[in-house]
Amino acid sequence: MGRTTVLQQLLDAGVVAVLRGVPTAALPAVVDALVAGGVTAIELTADTPGVHDAVAAVAADDRVTVGVGTVREPSQIADLVDVGASFVVSPICDPAVVDAAHTEDVPTAAGCRTPTEVHVAMGAGADIIKIFPASVATPGLLAALRATLDPPPLMPTGGISPTTLGDYIEAGAGCVGVGGSLLAGTDPSDPDPDRIRSAAEAHMAALTAARD
């Protein structure tokens, strides 16, 4: 799949599940629970032990779009794409990371919080602007960025919950990144699929309501 196709899949999905520290052995149950709840975009963080095996395992599931987050070094990207990552997310705005992702023909989300960082990310050609951390970035910030800079799709991440998700979508977010709220307080090393499914359903209900 090319960059444009994957980008559209992420925007259509609306919610990107950010999985940090989930063991590879537990991923099938977690992914099943997320998909059952309507979440089909999965971001595995690069700092998770065994991330290459984890990406390969999830990439074999054709129900989901899988990528890698917490990417800070351009040198990480080629190997991750080789094992199945179809998008890259970074917590920082580094044009070299954007370039490396585009060399592999995968879309990238550059981490930004200020208008200057968004401007730099746009100049680098980032496909998505990750507004991070969303816990300190109000929906009003997204609306202002869209009004003044006309950026590519915005993806607020960090601190999103079903209660706040709709406000970000209504402010113009193309999609949202959600981590702990989707794991529903369960231990990443021993996740509870039923609670994860219920959490996924709650997030997707909030997304649907905001997009209607």
Tens of pLDDT, residue by residue over 142-181, are 999 999 999 999 999 999 999 999 999 999 999 999 999 9
CATH 3.40.50.2300 fits 3-211, yes or no: no
- The domain segmentation of the chain, as residue ranges, is 3-211
Give yes or no: 43 in active site.
Answer: yes
Question: Nearest 5°: CA angle at 123, between 136 and 152?
Answer: 55
Query: Phi and psi at residue 104, in whole multiples of 5°?
Result: -90, 5
Active-site residue, selected from the candidate residues 43, 73, 104, 201: 43
Give residue-wise pLDDT tens across range 99-114.
Answer: 999 999 999 999 999 9
Distance CA 14, CA 173 (A): 9
Distance CA 155, CA 178 (A): 10
What pLDDT was estimated at residue 189? 80
Distance CA 6, CA 9 (A): 5
Active-site residue, selected from the candidate residues 104, 117, 130, 170: 130
Q: How many CB atoms lie within 10 A of CB 148?
A: 11
In this structure, which amino acid lies at residue 59?
Answer: A
Query: Global pTM?
Result: 0.97
Lookup: tokens for 68: 């890698």
Give yes or no: 117 in active site.
Answer: no
Answer yes or no: is pLDDT of 11 > 80.
yes
